[in-house]
Amino acid sequence: MADRDHIEADQALGAWERAAHETQWARPWTTLWQPDPPFDHWFVDGLLNVSVNCVDRHLGDKADDTAIFWEGEPGDRRRLTFAELHQDVVNLAGALRAMGLGSGGRVALHLGWLPETVTAMLACARIGAVYTIIPTPLPVEALIERIDHFAPTVLFTQDGAWRRGAILPLKARIDEALSAVPGVEVTVVVRRTGVDVPWYEGDRWYHDVVTDTRPGTSRTDGGAADVPSEHPLLVDALANRRGQPVSVTHAGARLLLSAAMVHRYGSCEPGVTWIASDASWLATQASGIYGPLFWGETTVMYEGGLDTPTHARTWEIVERYQVATLLLSPSAARMLREWSPAPPPHRMVASLRRFATLGERVDRSLLEWFAVDVGRGRVRVADGWGQVQLGGVIRFDAPVDAVNLPEPGLRIVNNDGNPISGSGIGEVVLTQPWAGMVLDVHGSAADDVIDVHWNRYDGVYATGDLARYDDTGAIEFLGRRDEVVSVAGQLVSLTEVREVLQEHPYVVAADVFEVRHTMRKPSVMAAVVLDPQLPNELDIAHITRELLDSVHEVLGGLGRPRGMLILDRFGDELTGGQRRSALAVLAAASRSHGEASLVSWSQVIATAGVPGA
C-alpha cells in the first residue's frame, strides 16, 4: 500500500471512531473494523437502536425543538417536535408488536413523503424490524415484483397520493398487486386524500392502529430493542438484472453513522436541511432523516411537485422554513433554472447557505447559477456522489469539513485495475473501507452483482462509474459503465435494454438513451438499424411492436422504451455520448410514444452539431 493510502486509511478509521463515540450504544463495540471480503464488519460486538439515536437521546435538552417541518402539496402543514415524534414512534412500535412483529420482521412502506413514513421507519428500527420503501409511481406489475421479492407480512400504503394536483390511486394499486402475492397479513392505510377505497380483510386505518385500545392491542412501547450494529435496518432495490430483482440490505449502525458523518462534514451547513426528493430514494432517507435527526437538527419534508401550484413553490418553502441547506438532483435543479427567468427575490433565499446536487452528473454551470444568481455569492455549492451500495451519498467535491469527513480513497483505474494518471478515462474504485457499505446482496443475480463490484479488482470496490482527472487533479465523474436510469421510481439498465434489442433478429445495431422533459419524468427511448433483408410485408408499426414487446418480455414493463427511432445506419463520425445526445433531441422532437419515427443518420449528425462530423 502506498504512503498516501496508509495516511488515508488512518484518517478514515480515525473519523469513523470519532463518529462511533458520538453514538449512544447500549453495549460498546470492541473492534472498529474487521476485514472480511466481500462485506467487512464494523463496530463489532456493539449494540444500539437507531430510533434511540435519532429521537430518544435528544429528549433531555431538545424535546420541544422542531424535528420535522412537513408540508403537503395542497398546502397543509405540520410541525413535529422531538417529543411529538418520539410519542408517534412509540405508539406505532407498540402497534407493530401487537401485530406480531419483532426483530427481523419485514414491513413494506408504499408511502409518499409523509410524517407517517418517518414514524414507520423509526418504529421498525425501534423493534428491530426491517423495512423497504416502495416507490409510489410503480405500476401494478412492478409492485407485484417488489412485494414478492421482499416478502413483507405488514404493508403500509395510502388511500391516494397527491402529485401535481392529481391523486394517485395507491390503495387500489396495492389491492390489485396483493391479489397476486400471498403473505401480507395486515395492510395499514394512511388517510391522506379522503378518496373512497375498497376494504378487504386485513386492512386497517393508520389512525386506528396507533390509537386502538382493545384487549390484545396494547399501545405500550415495550422499550427499544438493543440490536447488534450489523442488524438489518432496510432493504433497497438495485436495477434488475435480466428482469430479475436484486436488492441490498443495509445495517442500522453502519447506515446511521455513514449518514451522520456525511450530513455534518460533507453536505450540510448548521441549520435547517431540505432534500427535495422522493421517499424511496435511499439518499432521501439518509440525508433527509437519519443524518439530521442523529445530530438533533431540523429537516424539511415536502410531499409534492416543486412546480405546484406555481414555479415559486421551492423558494416559498426555503423562505417559510428558513432552509440553510438545499439538496436537489441535477434534473430538479435544471427545472428550477428553467422556471426562473430571473433569480428569486433575496428575501426568499436569504437563509440559504449551502446548495448541493446529488444523484446524477451535474453541469457546472448549474452550480454557478445557484452560487451567483440565486445565492448572490453567499451560497456555497457542491456536487455529491454516492451509490445505494454505499449507503447513499458519501463524497462531495467541496465538503463542509474535509478533515473530519471519512475518506473513501477514490481512485481511477484502467480495465486491468491499474491506476490511471493524466487525462485518461477509467473506472472509479474505493480503496478505503466505508462503514455505510451494504451488509449483503439478494436475488438470483446477486452473485453477478458481487462479482461486478467486489470481486473484479483485488482489494477494492469497483463502482461502475467512469471518470477522469481534471486540470486540478480532482475526479470528474462521466457517467455509468452500465448506464442506469430511474423509471417510475425503479432503476432500469439501459445497457440491458440495448443488449435485448441487439439480440433480436430484426436488428443489426441499436442504442438506448434517456430523454429528459421539462414538465414530466425522463423516459427511455431506443434507436435501431433494421436488417435490410427483412420481408417487405412487415410494416414499421409491426416491427416496432415486436421489438418493444421483446424488451417487455425479458426485462418487464418498466424496461420497455416509450418510443423508437428507426435509422438507416449508425456512422462512426460521433462518439457514443454525442450520438445519444443527438438521438435524445430528435426523440423529444418526434413525441413518439410506443411508435416509430424514421430518422436518417445525416439528421443525427446535423443535430449533434459537431464540426467535421
CB 257 within 8 A of CB 129: no
- Give this prediction's pTM: 0.85
Show the beta-strand stretches assigned E in 470-572. Answer: 475-480, 484-487, 490-493, 507-515, 523-530, 563-567
C-alpha cell at 515: 430523454
SS3 511: strand
Average pLDDT for 489-518: 82
At 218 the pLDDT is 47
pLDDT tens-digit readout, 76-114: 999 999 999 999 999 999 999 999 999 999 999 999 999
State pLDDT tens for residues 111-152.
999 999 999 999 999 999 999 999 998 889 889 999 999 999
Burial class (CB within 10 angstroms; exposed 0-12, middle 13-18, buried 19+) of 297 = buried
What confidence score (pLDDT) does residue 490 get? 66
- Confidence class for position 486, pLDDT limits 50, 70, 90: low
Question: Three-state SS for 64?
Answer: coil
Cα torsion for 369, 372, 374, 377, to the nearest 10°? Answer: 150
Q: In whole angstroms, give the CA distance from residue 28 to residue 34.
A: 15
Q: Please report where in the chains the cell 402543514 appears, as a residue.
A: 77
Instruction: State the sign of the Cα–Cα–Cα–Cα dihedral 66, 68, 69, 75.
Output: negative
Q: What's 39's DSSP letter? A: S
Give the pLDDT confidence score for residue 357 in this predicted structure.
95
- Under a CB-based contact definition with an 8 Å cutoff, are residues 561 and 507 in contact? no
Residue 274 has pLDDT above 70, yes or no: yes
pLDDT at residue 424 greater than cutoff 80: yes
Give 5's pLDDT tier (boundaries 50, 70, 90).
Answer: low
On the question of pLDDT at 392 being above 90, the answer is yes
Largest CA distance in the chain: 80
Q: Could you tell me the end-to-end alpha-carbon distance of the chain, in angstroms, rounded to an integer? A: 45
Please tell me the distance from the alpha carbon of residue 560 to that of residue 550, in angstroms, as a whole number: 8
Residue 112, CB-side half-sphere exposure with 13 Å CA sphere: 27
Query: For the chain, what percent of residues have pLDDT higher than 90?
Result: 67
pLDDT of 215 above 50: no
In one letter, which amino acid is 368? E
Structural contact between residues 150 and 236, judged by C-beta atoms closer than 8 angstroms: no
Give the integer Cα–Cα distance in Å for 520 and 541: 26
Give per-residue burial for 38-62: e unless 16+ CB within 10 Å, then b: ebebbbeebbbbbbbbbbbbbeeeb
Mean pLDDT of 252-257: 97
Torsion of CA 274, 277, 281, 283, to 10 degrees: -30
pLDDT band at 1 (very low <50, low <70, confident <90, very high): very low
pLDDT mean over 502-523: 80
Nearest to 144 by CA among 186, 110, 178: 178
Do 291 and 268 touch, CB atoms closer than 8 A? yes
The arithmetic mean of pLDDT across residues 194-203, rounded, is 95
Please compute the mean of the pLDDT values over residues 572-588 and round it to a whole number.
84
Mean pLDDT of 177-183: 95
Confidence (pLDDT) at 67: 98
- Give the CA radius of gyration of the chain: 24
Output the CA–CA distances (angstroms, integers) from residue 247 to 6, 48, 241, 439, 504, in the order listed.
33, 24, 11, 11, 28
Instruction: Tell which wins on pLDDT, 589 or 246.
Output: 246
* pLDDT of 517 higher than 70: no
Q: Are 84 and 118 in contact (CB under 8 A)?
A: no
Cell of 222: 415495550
Q: What is the pLDDT of residues 368-389, one digit of tens each?
A: 999 999 999 999 999 999 999 9
Tell me the three cell numbers of residue 187: 395492510
- pLDDT computed for residue 595 by the predictor: 73
104: its cell numbers: 427481523
Kindly indicate the confidence band of residue 596, based on its pLDDT and cuts at 50, 70 and 90.
Answer: confident
520 band by pLDDT with thresholds 50, 70 and 90: low
pLDDT at 153: 98
pLDDT averaged over every residue in the chain: 90
Per-residue confidence (pLDDT) for residue 242, from 0 to 100: 65
- Predicted confidence (pLDDT) per residue in 397-414, tens digit: 999 999 999 999 999 999
Contacts of 434 by beta carbon, 8 Å cutoff, 6+ apart: 12, 258, 390, 391, 394, 406, 408, 461
- C-alpha 263 chain-centroid distance: 16
Q: Strand, coil or helix: what is 187?
A: strand
**Confidence band (pLDDT; 50, 70, 90) for 557?**
confident
Q: Which domains does the chain have, with CATH numbers?
A: 51-62+80-228 (3.40.50.980), 492-608 (3.30.300.30)
Least confident span in 9-23, 32-46, 512-526: 512-526
pLDDT at 455 over 90: yes
8 A C-beta contact, residue 267 and residue 393: yes
Cβ neighbours of 221 (radius 10 Å): 18
Q: How confident is the model at residue 558 (pLDDT cuts 50, 70, 90)?
A: confident
347 pLDDT more than 90:
yes
Quickly list DSSP for 301-355: EE-S-TTSS-TTHHHHHHHHHTEEEEEE-HHHHHHHHHH-SSPPPHHHHTT--EE
How far is residue 403 from each of residues 5, 72, 261, 295, measured CA to CA in Å?
Answer: 16, 38, 11, 19
Cell of 402: 474535509
Type of residue numbered 293: L
Dihedral pair phi/psi, residue 409, rounded to 5°: 65, 55
What is the reported pLDDT for 385?
95
φ, ψ (nearest 5 deg) of residue 8:
-65, -35
Phi, psi dihedrals of residue 31, rounded to the nearest 5°? -130, 125
